[in-house]
Amino acid sequence: MPQFGQMDVTRVVFEQALPFKVFWHFRDRRKGKAGPLAVVGPCIFPEDDSSTSCLPVLSAFATLQLLPQQELPGSFGRLWCQRCIVVGNGYSIHGQRFGKMIDSHHIIIRLNDAPVKEHKKDVGERTSIRLFFPESALPNPLENNDNDTLMVFVPFKPLDFLWLREVLLKTRNKTKVGFWRQPPREWNGNVSQLRILNPYVTYEATYKLLQLNASSRRYATTGIIALNLALHMCQEVNIAGFGYPGNHDNTTPIHYYNTGRSRKKELFQHNITAERNWLLKMIESGVIADIASPSFQAQNS
CA dihedral 175, 180, 184, 190 (to 10 degrees): -100
Q: What are phi and psi of 40, to 5 degrees?
A: -125, 105
Answer with the residue of higher pLDDT: 38 or 234: 234
How confident is the model at residue 158, as a pLDDT?
A: 79
- pLDDT, one tens digit per residue, over 71-93 is 777 767 655 568 999 999 999 99
Mean pLDDT computed over every residue of the chain: 78
In whole angstroms, give the CA distance from residue 60 to residue 197: 11
Band (14; pLDDT cuts 50, 70, 90): very low
Q: Which residues pair with 84 in a beta bridge?
A: 107, 237
**pLDDT for residue 215 is more than 90:** no
Q: Is residue 18 over pLDDT 60?
A: no
The amino acid occupying position 241 is: G
The whole-model pTM stands at 0.82
The domain defined by 4-299 folds into: sialyltransferase cstii, chain A (3.90.1480)
